[in-house]
């Protein structure tokens, strides 16, 4: 999956407005215009499509964490450079932090997407690269996680008795 695809799917899954996304970029000192943002949401085959860089994706996710959880006082002004290329493990971890999801929440979201994953397999995704139990997060897992998030947030059962 491309960063554009991840951003587009995640935006839909949690129903983020353009203003929230632009604010997330701004919180990490990146200026993205509304026109530029709309080009990131286009499909690769559309005229005007612009590829989202790893640096911008990382800035968005970090900005989203600040937007949802607040800025930490003890963080130094100079933040580390993004991991390039940004891998799915880091993206999944940052989404988890931004949405304040616990292990059970993540497993439930994967269940909603009908994707089976054990606690130990989930834990392995968040280990440091090089750890003996580290596991790469594939596109399929990330896609199913976002699909589970979409189904959980977007597809609501009829409210009985109202």
Residue 104 pLDDT exceeds 70:
yes
Q: What is the pLDDT of residues 43-74, one digit of tens each?
A: 999 999 999 999 999 999 999 999 999 887 66
Residue 102's pLDDT band (cuts 50, 70, 90)? very high
Q: What is the pTM of this model?
A: 0.86
The mean pLDDT of 90-112, rounded to a whole number, is 96
CA 63 to chain centre: 11
Q: What distance in Å separates the CA atoms of residue 50 and residue 47, rounded to the nearest whole number?
A: 9
Give the residue extent of every domain in the chain: 3-72+83-154
Residue 160 pLDDT exceeds 60:
no
Q: What is the number of H-type helices and E-type strands within the chain?
A: 8, 0
Residue 79 pLDDT exceeds 60:
no
Residue whose pair of structure tokens reads 């994706």 in the numeric block: 57
Of residues 153 and 73, more confidence is placed in: 153
| Predicted pLDDT of residue 77 | 47
Q: What is the pLDDT of residues 16-45, one digit of tens each?
A: 999 999 999 999 999 999 999 999 999 999
| Predicted pLDDT of residue 61 | 96
Q: What distance in Å separates the CA atoms of residue 46 and residue 135, rounded to the nearest whole number?
A: 35
Distances (CA, A) of 108 to 69, 105, 112, 154: 22, 5, 6, 15
CB neighbourhood size of 87 (10 A): 15
The mean pLDDT of 122-136, rounded to a whole number, is 93
């Amino acid at each position: 999956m491309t960063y554009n695809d991840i951003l587009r799917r995640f935006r839909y899954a949690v129903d983020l407005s353009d203003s929230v996304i632009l604010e997330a970029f701004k919180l990490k000192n990146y200026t993205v215009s509304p026109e530029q943002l709309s080009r990131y949401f286009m499909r690769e085959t559309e005229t005007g499509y612009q590829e989202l860089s790893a640096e911008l994706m990382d800035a968005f996710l970090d900005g989203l964490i600040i937007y949802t959880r607040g800025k930490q006082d003890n963080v130094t002004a100079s933040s580390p450079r993004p991991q390039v290329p940004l891998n799915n493990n880091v993206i999944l971890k940052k989404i988890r932090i931004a949405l304040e999801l616990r292990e059970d929440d993540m497993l439930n979201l994967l269940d909603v997407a009908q994707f089976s994953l054990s606690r130990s397999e989930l834990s392995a995704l968040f280990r440091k690269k090089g750890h003996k139990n580290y596991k790469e997060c594939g596109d399929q897992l990330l896609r199913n996680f976002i699909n589970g998030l979409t189904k959980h947030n977007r597809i609501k059962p009829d409210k009985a008795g109202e």
